């Protein structure tokens, strides 16, 4: 078991996944917590979170090999609220999610959490405040317990179980042949898509971080799993600052704020009620006529 938490071994094993992880904003917590901090300023201080308000200020960004993806982007995700990013494919939504944990740094502009520039704080303290749930829940080789604990290697068994309960995963876990010790991954049992998602939500919950980055799944689950996953997500989102790449109309409608992106800029923002009223606005037009064009499924 100790070996399983040896960072070097984990890194070696996950080497193949790292690049993909960065590209897809697949935030693998084990890596986040052990990866040596890069480009940390010598006098970096620990991030102090009070409200967990996230702000992107005049952010310009290009990937090394390409053109400008974000073109002077401003947005605020208020503390404890849900901010939904919508916009056509390629608008830059995942890029925003990549910048918050500092997988990449903006070319220009700043990202602030509670007024502190994230480029000037220690990466460990920054990432400790973040949890991530990806579209594609990734399971590591190991037990169900290990898989949840990847969210926070220091979590106790009781913490793991508590996270699983909150994620509506405890019951199906107990129904497995060896409960929490049941192996999953390539050499283990096969879990359904909804069960994998709930494990990935439990993995995020065990971190108990104030900021949740969420890339909403587009692939449909059957109704029963869908309801369970949705309930788990509702728990995970409650009381947290959530930045969600939203693909479902229900998520967008419920969000405190919708940020409509197009071509690396924010073209509209507001609640669903406000934006839907603005008949000549992009959101109202797209929402009425062709929701899929802004990446939303109805
Ligand atoms: P989608 O809804 O399709 O995920 P998105 O709004 O999330 O789209 P991004 O994934 O942020 O958009 O991509 C914006 C642009 O950046 C796209 O043109 C994409 O090809 C490019 N891009 C994304 N990741 C990388 C990368 N790691 N290196 C180079 N270019 C990238």
- The complex's ipTM? 0.94
Distance 13 CA to ligand 1 centre (A): 26
Structure confidence by residue, pLDDT tens digits, 193-233: 999 999 999 999 999 999 999 998 877 778 888 899 999 99
Ligand 1: does its nearest atom lie under 6 Å from the Cβ of 88? Answer: no
- In the numeric block, the tokens 């406000």 are attached to 274
**pTM across the whole model:** 0.85
Structure confidence by residue, pLDDT tens digits, 84-107: 999 888 899 999 998 999 988 999
- By CB neighbour count within 10 A (0-12 exposed, 13-18 middle, 19+ buried), where does 38 fall? exposed
Ligand 1: does its nearest atom lie under 6 Å from the Cβ of 94? Answer: yes
Ligand 1: does its nearest atom lie under 6 Å from the Cβ of 151? Answer: no
Alpha helices for the chain (secondary structure H):
7-23, 29-34, 93-99, 123-128, 144-149, 157-166, 170-174, 193-205, 223-237, 249-254, 272-277, 282-289
Which atom of ligand 1 is nearest the CA belonging to 23? 27
């Amino acid at each position: 078991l100790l070996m399983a938490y040896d960072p070097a071994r984990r890194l070696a094993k996950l080497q193949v996944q790292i690049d993909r992880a960065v590209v897809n904003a697949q935030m693998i917590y084990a890596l986040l917590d052990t990866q040596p901090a890069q480009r940390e300023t010598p006098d970096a201080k620990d991030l102090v979170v009070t409200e967990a308000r996230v702000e992107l200020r005049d952010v310009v960004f290009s990937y090394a090999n390409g053109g400008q993806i974000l073109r002077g982007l401003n947005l605020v995700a208020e503390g404890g609220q849900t901010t939904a990013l919508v916009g056509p494919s390629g608008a830059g939504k995942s890029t925003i999610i990549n910048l918050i944990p500092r997988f990449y740094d903006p070319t220009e502009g700043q990202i602030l959490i509670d007024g502190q520039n994230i480029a000037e704080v220690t990466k460990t303290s920054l990432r400790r405040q973040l949890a991530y749930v990806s579209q594609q829940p990734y399971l590591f080789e190991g037990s169900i317990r290990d898989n949840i604990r990847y969210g926070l290697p220091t979590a106790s068994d009781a913490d793991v179980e508590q996270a699983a309960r909150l994620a509506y995963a405890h019951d199906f876990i107990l129904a497995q042949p060896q409960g929490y010790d049941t192996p999953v991954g390539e050499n283990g049992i096969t879990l359904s898509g909804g069960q994998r998602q709930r494990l990935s939500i439990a993995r995020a919950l065990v971190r108990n971080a104030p900021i949740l980055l969420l890339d909403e799944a587009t692939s449909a689950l059957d109704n029963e799993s869908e309801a369970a996953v949705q309930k788990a997500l509702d728990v995970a989102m409650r009381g947290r600052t959530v930045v969600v790449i939203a693909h479902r109309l229900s998520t967008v409608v419920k969000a405190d704020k919708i940020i409509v992106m197009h071509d690396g800029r924010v073209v509209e923002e507001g609640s669903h009620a406000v934006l839907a009223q603005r008949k000549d606005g992009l959101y109202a037009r797209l929402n009425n006529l062709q929701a899929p064009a802004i990446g939303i499924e109805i």
